[in-house]
Every structure is written in C-alpha cells, then in structure tokens.
Amino acid sequence: MRHRASGRTVGGMRSFLLQAPAVSLLLLWMLVPLCMTLWFSFQRYNLLNPFISGFAGVDNYTYLLTDPALWTAMGNTLLLVGWVLAITVVGGTLLAVLFQQEFFGRGIARLLVIAPFFVMPTVSALIWKNMMMHPVNGVLAWLFNLFGFQAVDWFSSLPLTSIILIVSWEWLPFALLILLTAIQSLDDDQVEAARMDGAGPIAIFWFITLPHLKRAISVVIMIEMIFLLTIFAEIFVTTSGGPGLASTNLAYLIYIRALLDFDVGGASAGGVIAIVLANIVAIFLIRTVARHLET
C-alpha cells in the first residue's frame, strides 16, 4: 500500500512538473495584461501630456459611466451581437437543412458558401464598402436602379445595419459548418419513420431536426457571442464609428479613448468594463450550454 501511494505521489509530481511551464506561461499571458489594465484604469495617464499623472481613484470609471457615449456604445454592441446571432443561427439552420439534401453540384455549393468565413475581416469590409454597398458603383446600387428604386448610401444612412450585414456575411458560414456537421448525425431511420407516419417537411424540421440541433445551436451562440463582442476591423474600415456614434461599439469606443484621445486611463477603465461584460455573458452562455448538454 505504501509503495502504491508513493508511486501515485511521484507520478503526480512528475505530471505537475511537466505541466508547470505551460500553465505558468498561460497565467503570465493572461494576468500581466489584466493587472496592467487594472493599474492604468486607476491612473491619470495621457500620452500627449505627461504632466497629467498620479492616482485617479475611480474618476476614470465615474467619467465613463456618466458619459452618454458609453451607453450608446453598449447599446450598439448589444444590437450588433443580437442581430448577427439571429441572422446567423436562423440562416445557418435553414442552409444546413438545404445543403443536407441531395442536388447537383452540392459539393461545390458547400465550398462556396463556407468560403466567406476564411476571408479576413478587413478584406470583407473593403469588399462590401467598395464593391457591394457603394452608393454609385456598388452591386446593390445597380440592383436598386435596375428595379427602379433609388440607391441607398448605406454607411451614411444605415451605418449599424451595414455593419450587421457585413458581420453576418462573415459568420453565417461558421454557423452553417457547425450545424451541417450536427445535422449529418441525425438518424435517417427516425426521419423515414416520421415520413411513413404522414409527417410533412415542416413537421419533420420542427419536431425532429430542430431538437436534434439544439446543442449545436447553443455552441454556435456561445462561440459567436464571445467574438462578436470584440468586432473592430469592420467598423474601422467602413464607418469609423460614425456618423457620430451611430456605429460605435464598446471595442471601438475603447480604441477612440486610447489612440485618438490618448487617454490611457480612461481606455483602461473601458477595457475593465468590457471584461466584466464579457465575463457576465460568458458565464450565462456556459451555464445555458451545459444545461442543454445535460438534456
């Protein structure tokens, strides 16, 4: 008994020593930036004026929380995340059902529909800005003129809607890929039995396919929401947060505070607020996904 206990102790110590470098590097990678952000959030630190320095207490947080720009940015962030999730989950589910069917050229069609996910966000934003949504030379302007409608200046009149469309185009292939993989594990015998009992396509989708995709949909929502909270490149390339603050989300507001206003303390306080918001969302999503995985 003593030898076995000693063996477990030595094995556990050896395993700990092997894992220690990777765990230590991961902790440093996470804790050092977090601690620096917390430190600067309580400091007066302006890059243009080095004489503005010293301990600020909660002044940076008070200024941000009483600034209407913060609440506008948070509202835009929630709208952006909510609409993109709705579009990608609903569209991804319907496309997954469609691409599960047999038709000529299905392999090529799957490849083409998944391709946008591998395009860099900056390139996607440039494509939509200069080729699709341009009010004079864009494809959408040509279609509007073709049917007798007036072309829309998307980034001036509908800036947040434009960002939502661009980001949805980028993330729809991801949702499709996950949901298509999940739908392929659906038992064909169950579907055939439902058809023999007289169930139509809508009933099969609602009572068999959709419950089967519940876990995959939860995973898609969790992963997408984590990334959608930090959308930046699409806004920077197309609208620069404007007009005014119409398309400014929380990530872009932090960029404005840090690199345009040169207020490192205020930007760090915004970063801490963003971290708290992201963790609240992550905890809620993890519990929701875990609940679905248990059922």
CATH of the domain at 90: 1.10.3720.10
Q: What amino acid occupies position 79?
A: L
8 Å CB contact between 275 and 31: no
Q: What's the pLDDT score for residue 287? A: 75
Q: What's the pLDDT score for residue 189? A: 77
Among residues 84, 96, 41, which one has the least CA distance to residue 64?
41
Q: What's the pLDDT score for residue 237? A: 93
Please give the tally of structural domains in the chain.
1
Among residues 166, 157, 120, which one has the least CA distance to residue 246?
157
Q: Is residue 19 part of a domain?
A: no
Q: Which domain holds residue 235?
A: 42-294
Evaluate if residue 2 carries a pLDDT over 80. no
Q: What's the pLDDT score for residue 113? A: 87
Evaluate if residue 6 carries a pLDDT over 60. no
Q: Which one is predicted more confidently, 51 or 55?
A: 55
**Average pLDDT over the chain, rounded to whole?**
86
The C-alpha atoms of residue 258 and residue 260 are separated, in whole angstroms, by 6
Q: Is residue 279 part of a domain?
A: yes
Q: Is residue 16 part of a domain?
A: no
Q: What's the pLDDT score for residue 260? A: 84
Q: What amino acid occupies position 268?
A: S
Bond before 243 cis per omega within 30 degrees: yes
Q: Is residue 31 part of a domain?
A: no
Q: Is residue 172 part of a domain?
A: yes
Q: Is residue 199 part of a domain?
A: yes
- Residues 30-41 have pLDDT tens digits of 888 888 889 988
Q: What's the pLDDT score for residue 295? A: 59
Non-local (6+) Cβ contacts of 275 within 8 A are: 34, 37
pTM of the model: 0.86
The C-alpha atoms of residue 129 and residue 116 are separated, in whole angstroms, by 15
Q: Is residue 18 part of a domain?
A: no
Q: Is residue 35 part of a domain?
A: no
